[in-house]
Amino acid sequence: MKSPRRGFTLLEVLVATVIMAVAVSGLLSAISASLNNASRLTDYDRAALLAKRKLDELLLDTRLPKYTPIEGVWSPAGAEGVEGGWRAMATVFESLPQAGPGSMALERIELEVWWTSGGRRRSFALEGFRRGVIRPGEQALMGGARRE
């Protein structure tokens, strides 16, 4: 009388190992993609916070020159590890017809923020509006401003 066989054959072990290897590699690939996405979003969130802070500064700066691009670079230490910079320009968005120096106007501040992430330059734009006063010499530059 033969005793019943116990254990697995070599073929069964190999098939089980291949199935486990495919499952584990798929799982590791999904985890890697999730970590890359989280890192990318973290950089984007940091840049968005810096952009909001810079736009607030520009909106409060009444001495900001109109129709003149200004730009700057953030130091990685002061920018929460983000390597990048910004470019902004203030323009008169809307004013009354025949508005002259001392007249009220709606000003638009356009801000472009850029940063480096994963060896690529990324950017986005923000804009804000504020009430301002037309200064002497700015009236000639207002050719493109919309008026009522």
Q: List the domains of the chain with CATH numbers.
A: 10-147 (3.30.1300.30)
Rounded to 5°, angle at Cα 43 from 38 and 47: 145
Q: What is the pLDDT of residues 21-36, one digit of tens each?
A: 999 999 999 888 888 7
Share of the chain above pLDDT 70, in %: 85
| Residues in Cβ contact with 110 at an 8 Å cutoff, skipping those fewer than 6 apart | 88, 89, 90, 91, 125, 126, 127
pTM, 2 dp: 0.66
Cα–Cα dist 102/113, whole Å: 32
Average pLDDT value for the chain: 85
Q: Tens digit of pLDDT for each residue in 33-75?
A: 888 777 767 778 888 888 999 999 999 998 899 999 999 998 7
pLDDT digits (tens, 9 = 90+) for 70-89: 999 987 766 666 788 999 99
Contact 49, 86 (CB under 8 A): no
Each residue's pLDDT tens digit, 93-116: 998 888 788 889 999 999 999 988
Q: Using pLDDT thresholds of 50, 70 and 90, give the confidence band for residue 91.
A: very high
What per-residue confidence (pLDDT) applies to 22?
A: 95
Residue 142: CB partners within 8 Å, gap ≥ 6?
Answer: 92, 95, 99, 134
